[in-house]
Amino acid sequence: MSHFHLRDGVTHCEDVPLPTIAQAVGTPVFVYSANAMRSQAKALRAALAPLGDPLVAYAVKANPNIAVLTALAAEGLGADVVSGGEYRRARAAGVAPDKIVFSGVGKTAAEMRLALEGGLCQFNLESFPEAEMLSQVAQSVGRTAPVAFRINPDVDAGSHAKISTGAAHNKFGIPIDETAAACRALQSLPGLELMGLAVHIGSQLTRLAPLEAAIAKLGGMIAQLRSEGHRIHTADLGGGLGVQYDPSSQPPPSVEDYGAMVTRLTRGWNVRLIFEPGRLIVGNSGVLLTEVIRIKSGPRSPFVIVDAAMNDLLRPSLYDAWHEFGAVAPRGGEMVADVVGPVCESGDVFALARRLDRVQAGDLMLIHTAGAYAAAMAGTYNSRALAPEVLVDGGEWAVVRPRRGDEAYLADEDVPPWLKRAE
Ligand X SMILES: *Cc1c(COP(=O)(O)O)cnc(C)c1O
Size of the site for ligand X (CB under 6 A): 15
Reference 370, options 309, 286, 271, 299; nearest CA is 286
Phi, psi of 241 (to 5 degrees): -60, 130
Q: Which is nearer to ligand X, 222 or 282 (CB)?
A: 282
* 241 vs 255: CA distance, rounded Å: 8
C-alpha dihedral sign at 337, 339, 342, 344: negative
Is residue 380 within 8 Å of 297, Cβ to Cβ? no
344 labelled catalytic: yes
Q: Select from 19-27, 214-222, 275-283, 329-337 the region that touches ligand X (CB under 6 A).
A: 275-283
Interface residue with ligand X among 210, 240, 252, 341 (CB under 6 A) is 240
Is residue 173 near ligand X by the rule CB under 6 A?
no
* CA 277 from centre of chain: 8
Q: Select from 1-9, 131-139, 237-245, 306-314 the region that touches ligand X (CB under 6 A).
A: 237-245
Characterize the bridge pairing of strands 55-59 and 272-275. Answer: parallel
Q: Select from 33-41, 277-285, 290-298, 346-354 the region that touches ligand X (CB under 6 A).
A: 277-285
* CA 187 from centre of chain: 34
Buried-state track 149-179, b at ≥16 Cβ within 10 A, e below 16:
bbbbbbbebebeeebbbbbeebebbbebebb
Q: How far is the CB of 278 from ligand X (least distance, A)?
A: 3
Q: Select from 11-19, 131-139, 238-246, 284-292 the region that touches ligand X (CB under 6 A).
A: 238-246
Q: How far is the CB of 103 from ligand X (least distance, A)?
A: 4
Is residue 201 near ligand X by the rule CB under 6 A?
no
Q: Which is nearer to ligand X, 80 or 307 (CB)?
A: 80
Task: Report the site for ligand X in 52-81 (rule: CB under 6 A).
Answer: 59, 61-62, 80
Interface residue with ligand X among 64, 239, 326, 341 (CB under 6 A) is 239
Is residue 103 near ligand X by the rule CB under 6 A?
yes
Q: Which is nearer to ligand X, 47 or 292 (CB)?
A: 47
Reference 293, options 307, 313, 303; nearest CA is 307
Going from the C-alpha of 325 to that of each of 47, 352, 372, 373, the distances in angstroms are 30, 12, 16, 17
Site for ligand X, rule CB under 6 A: 59, 61-62, 80, 103, 200, 203, 238-240, 276-280
Among all residues, which ones are annotated catalytic? 344
